Amino acid sequence: MKFLKLMAFATVLFLVGCKTTQSTPVASTNKIDAKQAQGGMWIPSLLEGVNETEMQNLGMKMTAKDIYDVNNSSLKDAIVHFNGGCTAEVISSQGLLLTNHHCGYGQIQSHSSVEHDYLQDGFWAMNKSEELKNPGMFVTFINRIDDVTAQVLEGVLESMDLKVQQSLIDKNIAKVTKHATKEAWQEANVKSFYKGNQYILFVTEKYTDIRLVGAPPTSIGKFGSDTDNWMWPRHTGDFSMFRIYADKNNRPADYAVDNVPYTPKHFLPVSLDGVAENDFTLVFGFPGRTNEYLPAVAIDQIVNTLNPVKIDIRANALKIVDGFMRSDKSIKIKYASKYAGIANYWKKWIGENQGIEKSNAIAQKVTLETEFSKRVAKKDLAGYSSLLSDFETLYAEVEEVALARDYWVEVVYRNVELLNASFKLYQLENAYTRGGEAGFNKARTATLNRFKGFYKNYSPKVDKPVFARLVQMYKEGIPTAFLNDVLKNGNVAAMADDIYANSALVSLAKVEALLNGTPEEVIAKLNADAGYKVGKALSSDFYNVINPKFNEVNIKIAAVQKKYMKALRELFPNKRFFPDANSTLRVTYGQVKGYDPVDGVSYGNTTYLGGVMEKFVPGDYEFDVPKKLQELYKAKDFGQYADNGKMPVCFIGTNHTTGGNSGSPAIDAHGNLIGLNFDRVWEGTMSDLNYDADICRNIMVDVRYILFIVDKFAGATHLIDEMKLVHPKK
Ligand code: ARG
Ligand code: GLU
């Protein structure tokens, strides 16, 4: 949804003007405070200038070129996008990768069973032949980053209709991508920044032979689980290790026995010297999505209308699933990853809402908007004068359908698994309508493949009460204009009884039988299935009513948002605007720092192993501690990793991060690894909408704790030997 409403020529001029720096230059750069003024997720190729100066003022000893360089190896060559979601970094000359435990969780789970429970017990390959392959996994390196705004906006005129503009932009992007200079094994793609005001090309390299090397037990890697998630003080050793394999020429290749460990252009040395308050830190990774430039009316809608509904639906689903997981070990393994994913954002939204309220974020936005209007009026910028009232109108228009969409996504798509399966089958039926027999057969194979993974972790016993509760909430809560007759006239409890007794969608064997036959036969069987009937009714509402309506309004919102973004940058020349996160490689930086969460309470910046022992509850679901770790603690057997006799575990800093930054390296002033980003503090989770340097902190595992666990706990000393350990402070 990127649109252009400006004179192309003027836009190009404007963008070329600010191309060398992503931050509108501050009036006098030498006046930057030694303490950080704001957050930001900056584009690595555009750090020279204001960012570089600011980083150096904060203590960095590197140059912008040490971080990103096209011609020489630089820090960026050690960073990968991990399976499209998290971040990971190369920490040895043999392609050893470090990421979070929760990022490798799905892989660790996939190799686990009740007999070999690597989630519970941990896993360590004691040599390369024991490393476990992970079909379907990939990591992506960024080879090059180029500004291609002028090419993408070529010929695009403000006078053009929005759809025409977009299709021209899409065509230009296809052209830029196709003609990008790159090697045969590389890929190219273009992403929009600043809401469509800037376009950037990424040349990437994707490796697909990624093997699991090691993971601590969940009682370390996920210590504190959901109770401690998004919280400080924290004591989680949230890490796991993988290795990239390549062909004989070090190029990407699918799994093969004779593939070899990847030789990186750069890998991160590991610092043994730890951190202290105010030390410079840089976090390098792939933040997924932020929304820092929304108008007050949009934040109000998120916080007061949408978040409460999503929180409520998830709370209900989680309570039911949790009950089963606590009493049945096989259900615990099956649902562990799904549960963690649902619980994660449930808790995040609660923190986000509290933070927005406490920091008066909406009132702050209103103040900014008042000032914005004044400046627009003063400069007589007619083109910008209706932006804020356009937002008011459009957010009012979108409210009901946005709510309906969230109900659908949370109930049908995310939480009631049988409805999710029926959604996949609905797509299969559509494949027949669109592509005939050939289309159907292709889609059937893909669907059956996905179902194999799906049903491996499915229990109708768990799903049925979730259906009964959530579909009732859907029926009662979705705006009536979007309520399907099937639900309006039906009794949900009776529906659940019928479906979970009679539908084929409750097991893989039954679904496979159902999908056997000619397309016509399969579709006839599907449409006679009790579960599919309800699922189809709800999915077709989404496809035919909810989503089209939602998109229709959102196209208009995006056009206003784009213009608003441009206007903000023009009217507040002293402010520095970073582009919202969009799953591209970014640099964020700050300092190690504690914070004051509430009046009278101050949090320090580091936690220690002693704190793990304080939280220890023997046999507990979330706070058990492995015996070996207890012994190491008692014996103070910390090797070279202790800090004045204590074993550091986690620390916090002012780096502006978001989802996707999990697994990102925390790097010191010289470019060495000091920690592994994995979370944010609860009081600051609103930073996706409104960063506030006073209370927003990212949470990192201290790299010395990782080394200690690998070395002393797991005895995987061969991995330590592979790394380059350094003492930058000595
Ligand atoms: N909150 C962190 C993130 O957003 C960690 C999530 C995984 N941990 C958990 N207990 N669910 O991804
Ligand atoms: N745990 C998050 C992730 O998986 C990072 C924490 C955050 O959202 O800042 O990316």
Ligand 2 within 6 A of 685 CB? no
Residue 556 shares a structural domain with residue 625: no
Residue 668 shares a structural domain with residue 522: no
Q: Identify whether 20 is part of a domain.
A: no
Ligand 1 within 6 A of 232 CB? no
Q: How many domains does the chain have?
A: 3
Taking residue 365's Cβ as centre, other Cβ atoms within 10 Å add up to 22
Residue 652, φ and ψ in degrees, nearest 5: -125, 160
> Which residue is closest in CA terms to ligand 2's atom 8?
659
Nearest atom within ligand 1 for CA of residue 345: 4
Residue 347 shares a structural domain with residue 473: yes
Q: How far is the CA of 53 from the centre of ligand 1 (A)?
A: 33
Q: Identify whether 669 is part of a domain.
A: yes
Ligand 2 within 6 A of 661 CB? yes
> Which residue is closest in CA terms to ligand 1's atom 5?
679
What is the Cα 531 distance to its own chain's centre?
32
Counting as low any pLDDT under 50, the low residues of the chain are 1-20, 24-33
The set of residues, in sequence order, having a beta carbon less than 8 Å from that of 505 and lying 6+ positions away, is 418, 421, 422, 425, 499, 511, 514, 529, 531, 532, 535
What is the Cα 418 distance to its own chain's centre?
25
Q: ∠ at Cα 265 (262, 268), nearest 5°?
A: 90
Q: Identify whether 189 is part of a domain.
A: yes
The Cα 492–Cα 498 span in angstroms is 10
Tokens 């003007």 correspond to what residue? 17
Nearest atom within ligand 2 for CA of residue 86: 10
Nearest atom within ligand 1 for CA of residue 224: 10
> Which residue is closest in CA terms to ligand 2's atom 9?
658
Q: Identify whether 6 is part of a domain.
A: no
Ligand 2 within 6 A of 346 CB? no
Q: How far is the CA of 137 from the centre of ligand 1 (A)?
A: 20
The Cα 406–Cα 197 span in angstroms is 28
Q: How far is the CA of 356 from the centre of ligand 2 (A)?
A: 18
Q: Which of 156, 179, 206 is the last residue of a domain?
A: 206
Q: Where are the alpha helices (DSSP H) in 48-182?
A: 50-57, 64-67, 101-110, 118-121, 149-152, 162-179
Identify the CA nearest to 98 among candidates 665, 476, 659, 570.
665
The Cα 453–Cα 136 span in angstroms is 12
Q: Which residues are catalytic?
A: 102, 238, 662
The Cα 534–Cα 472 span in angstroms is 13
- Could you tell me which residues are beta bridge partners of residue 139? 82, 207
Residue 132 shares a structural domain with residue 151: no
Identity of residue 426: Y
Ligand 1 within 6 A of 344 CB? yes
The Cα 53–Cα 33 span in angstroms is 11
Q: How far is the CA of 107 from the centre of ligand 2 (A)?
A: 18
Residue 557 shares a structural domain with residue 409: yes
The set of residues, in sequence order, having a beta carbon less than 8 Å from that of 572 and lying 6+ positions away, is 24, 375
Nearest atom within ligand 1 for CA of residue 225: 10
Q: Which of 206, 224, 256 is the last residue of a domain?
A: 206
Ligand 1 within 6 A of 221 CB? no
Tokens 């037990």 correspond to what residue? 217
Instruction: Render the burial of 263-289: b for 16+ CB within 10 Å, e for the rest.
Output: ebebbbbbbbbbbeebbbbbbbbbbbe
Per-residue pLDDT, 578:
97
Q: How far is the CA of 710 from the centre of ligand 2 (A)?
A: 23
Residue 250 shares a structural domain with residue 326: no
Range of the domain at 155: 145-206
Q: How far is the CA of 437 from the centre of ligand 1 (A)?
A: 43
Q: How far is the CA of 463 from the centre of ligand 1 (A)?
A: 23
Per-residue pLDDT, 35:
62
Q: Identify whether 23 is part of a domain.
A: no
Residue 83, φ and ψ in degrees, nearest 5: 55, 30
Query: Mapped to the 3 state alphabet, what secondary structure does 703-715 carry?
Result: HHHHHHHHHHHCC
Residue 459 shares a structural domain with residue 358: yes
Nearest atom within ligand 1 for CA of residue 679: 2
Locate 508 and state its tokens.
Answer: 């893989």
- Could you tell me which residues are beta bridge partners of residue 141? 80, 205
The set of residues, in sequence order, having a beta carbon less than 8 Å from that of 277 and lying 6+ positions away, is 591, 592, 593, 594, 605
Residue 599 shares a structural domain with residue 701: yes
Residue 88, φ and ψ in degrees, nearest 5: -145, 165
Residue 340 shares a structural domain with residue 473: yes
Identify the CA nearest to 457 among candidates 342, 336, 346, 345.
336
* Residue 233 preceded by cis peptide, ω within 30: yes
Q: How far is the CA of 82 from the centre of ligand 2 (A)?
A: 13
Residue 252 shares a structural domain with residue 301: no
Ligand 2 within 6 A of 657 CB? yes
Q: Identify whether 26 is part of a domain.
A: no
Per-residue pLDDT, 6:
27
Residue 275 shares a structural domain with residue 402: no
SS3 154: coil
CA dihedral sign of residues 487, 490, 492, 498 = negative
> Which residue is closest in CA terms to ligand 2's atom 6?
679
Q: Identify whether 658 is part of a domain.
A: yes
- Which ligand is closest in space to the CA of residue 230? 1
Q: Which of 539, 571, 603 is the last residue of a domain?
A: 571
Ligand 1 within 6 A of 229 CB? yes
Assess contact for 567 and 376: CB atoms under 8 A: yes
User: How far from 500 is each of 485, 496, 710, 711, CA to CA, in Å?
Assistant: 21, 6, 46, 49
Per-residue pLDDT, 154:
96
Length of the chain: 730
Per-residue pLDDT, 115:
87
- Which ligand is closest in space to the CA of residue 318? 1
Ligand 1 within 6 A of 226 CB? yes
Residue 567, φ and ψ in degrees, nearest 5: -65, -45
Pocket-testing residue among 661, 686, 688, 696, ligand 2, by greatest number of atoms within 8 A of Cβ: 661
Q: How far is the CA of 693 from the centre of ligand 1 (A)?
A: 22
Ligand 2 within 6 A of 679 CB? yes
Nearest atom within ligand 1 for CA of residue 340: 11
Ligand 1 within 6 A of 679 CB? yes
First-to-final CA distance of the chain: 51
Residue 36 shares a structural domain with residue 68: yes
Identify the CA nearest to 62 among candidates 636, 613, 668.
668
Ligand 1 within 6 A of 337 CB? no
Nearest atom within ligand 1 for CA of residue 228: 10
Ligand 1 within 6 A of 225 CB? yes
- Which ligand is closest in space to the CA of residue 352? 2
- Which ligand is closest in space to the CA of residue 87? 2
Nearest atom within ligand 2 for CA of residue 287: 10
Residue 624, φ and ψ in degrees, nearest 5: -75, 155
Per-residue pLDDT, 162:
85
The Cα 421–Cα 427 span in angstroms is 10
Q: Identify whether 625 is part of a domain.
A: yes
Residue 56, φ and ψ in degrees, nearest 5: -70, -35
Q: What is the DSSP string of 656-689?
A: ---TT-TTPEEE-TTS-EEEEEEEE-GGGGGGGT
User: How far from 36 is each of 291, 464, 470, 489, CA to CA, in Å?
Assistant: 21, 51, 45, 58
How many H-runs (helices) and E-runs (strands) does the chain carry?
26, 20
